[in-house]
Structure 1
């Protein structure tokens, strides 16, 4: 027997249930991982609430964790029992002591990186990788705008941007979060509660504005993001923390300067083992070199049984960086 989190109805954090289950043996091409640390991501709240509905209910939750392979299915190559691994694109159910994962979704974890570092950074780090390196390749000295700069993804983006020699303008909601973003490597910050974002972007760029905006907030920042772009700029909408962007009149892209918009996701960029290896190796190199530092405060580590409390903390917007569940 093992423990996992399940939910039988969509709703708030209170729908999450801590339950016993009997793990099944891994199927062909799968490995069974004994999780040591589990990543909590904002997309998990979308699945729980029903915005991104799972195939059926009851359902497990979570797609990211780090741990040790304890069993392998037939046909598995390049992975064995005892290997330290991390994954971020599993089937739902990573909020669990034991989870079966397709071998193509698993990356070997270097000894220099702890399970907690890996679980706190893998999905977020791979997200920053595809955003800054593939959706739009950020160049040295380039100025760009990144919303929610003090969040889990945002703080990794601050550090990665600095390592690339770029100038990231990060939006935040408090002075404390502004300081955190600057410490992580943001070139400048904008407090969206007190400042007009497009006006500040224009001031910081000498009126030129930016080529690209990365926006995980969604509904509440849509207009401000478009207004921060210069002619033929790219709006990268990759999240909905304030609600989804709906009812968009495409004519607005014309009026604001023949703008481009994309709605990317990791699953569109990391689709096989080769792409996962390329992305994870670059991320691990950044962490191992110290260019990206991953440190989860004790107050943001929760026992697996307290997933409800962890989700309440995440949605309170009072957390800083990554949150973890510890089995």
Structure 2
């Protein structure tokens, strides 16, 4: 089969589209023909070596497709089932063997391409608004990169739960997308200071929570935008890791909370995976949550997808199609 493989860390050029051996299917596995797989910032971190992974490897960790083989010990799945998965290494490939416990069957109303686009970002948005800082009526949240794949999902989900979103974007086009998703206020950070914009939007109070997937470039502003006892949920580092800082600052700024959550710790067991995906799929099929696919690429174009993502030339979700 064909897959994207890397044998060294580096820039997008280390992603090689080549022939590899078919994956081995164990007794607890499913073999799936991949319809689409998602491209995420964590893939670029692993490619660059910021998050070290064992080499050589096939990158990618989410996707959707059709089951073509069922392991001898697997129950509950059949050949022909349409499934999706989060956090399964090796997803940039034509076929993936994955543990059955990491797969979820898709409802008839949900197409495989949309499911592939929704898994990591949709489940991340779910735990951020339900578990990291539960959003409800009256919650005011700052969402960085509000027109990106994560930003659009967070904005929609916060708004659906009764919260108010102040979003940051870089261009008028991205502002339009964020407002369509439900953002009440937008700050174009290329034209206005973020802290000044947030203070103006909240009459000087600041926000209850900042959802920050950018990291180094926004961290200082994120802290300064919080009201006393506010929460900074630092769930990514698209601009690079945050330098060390003195925790005493959380005290002096108003007894702030800082957390660095990750999806793996919010899919602790099968029950939690089914709960989160169930609510995600229901939100999509009932059109409370719209998945915007920004760009689709051939699997052989993985390097270009990484270049576009890191260059912040995209909105919405990026997908690879074998």
- Bucket of the pairwise TM-score, normalised by the shorter protein: over 0.9
Q: TM-score, normalised by structure 2?
A: 0.97
Contact 2:82–2:106, Cα closer than 8 Å, also in 1: yes
> Which aligned runs of 4 or more in structure 1 are off by greater than 4 angstroms?
none
Please state whether the residue corresponding to 1:86 is helix, strand or coil. strand
Q: Is 1:325 paired with 2:320?
A: yes
The partner residue of 1:194 within 175, 183, 191 is 191
Cα displacement string for residues 158-199 of structure 1 (whole angstroms, at most 9, x for unaligned residues):
211222121111111112111110011112111112112122
Aligned to 1:275: 272
What secondary structure, in the 3-state scheme, does the structure 1 residue paired with 2:297 have? strand
Question: What displacement does 1:264 show?
Answer: 0.2
Deviations 1:288-313 (A, max 9, x none): 0111112425xx11111111111111
Distance 1:250 1:162 in 2: 31
Q: Alpha-carbon deviation of 1:208?
A: 1.4
1:65 aligns to what?
Answer: 63
| 2:68 aligned with 1:95 | no
Q: Secondary structure at the match of 2:218?
A: helix
- 1:240 equivalent to 2:247? Answer no
Distance 1:268 1:37 in 2: 25
Q: Which residue of 1 aligns with 2:163?
A: 166
Deviation at 1:207, TM superposition (A): 1.6
Is contact 2:167-2:186 (8 Å) kept? yes
Per-residue CA deviation, residues 236-271 of structure 1 (Å, 9 max, x unaligned), is 101011110122111211221121110000001112
Greater Cα shift, 204-213 or 31-40: 204-213
Q: Once the 2 structures are TM-superposed, how far is the Cα of residue 314 of structure 1 from its aligned partner?
A: 1.2
Please give the per-residue CA displacement for 1:206-250, whole angstroms capped at 9, x wherever unaligned. 221111111000011111000011111111101011110122111
The unaligned stretches of length 5 or more in structure 1 are none
Which shifted more, 2-11 or 138-147?
138-147
> 2:138 maps to which residue?
141
CA distance in 1, matches of 2:120, 2:197: 30
Q: Is the 8 A contact 2:2 2:20 kept in 1?
A: yes
Aligned 8 A contact 1:105 1:272 in 2? no
Counterparts of 1:246 and 1:106, CA distance in 2? 36
In structure 2, the residue matched to 1:151 is: 148
Deviations 1:96-137 (A, max 9, x none): 001111112111111111111111111110000000111110
Does the alignment pair 1:315 with 2:314? no
What is the TM-score with the length of structure 1 in the denominator?
Answer: 0.96
Match of 1:83 in 2: 81
Whether 1:219 aligns to 2:216 is: yes
**Number of the residue aligned with 2:301:** 306
Q: Secondary structure at the match of 1:77?
A: coil
Match among 116, 121, 127 for residue 118 of structure 2: 121
How many residues matched? 322
| RMSD of aligned residue pairs (Cα, Å) | 1.1
Asked whether the equivalents of residues 149 and 292 of structure 2 are also in contact (C-alpha less than 8 Å), the reply is no
Deviations 1:9-28 (A, max 9, x none): 11111100011122133113
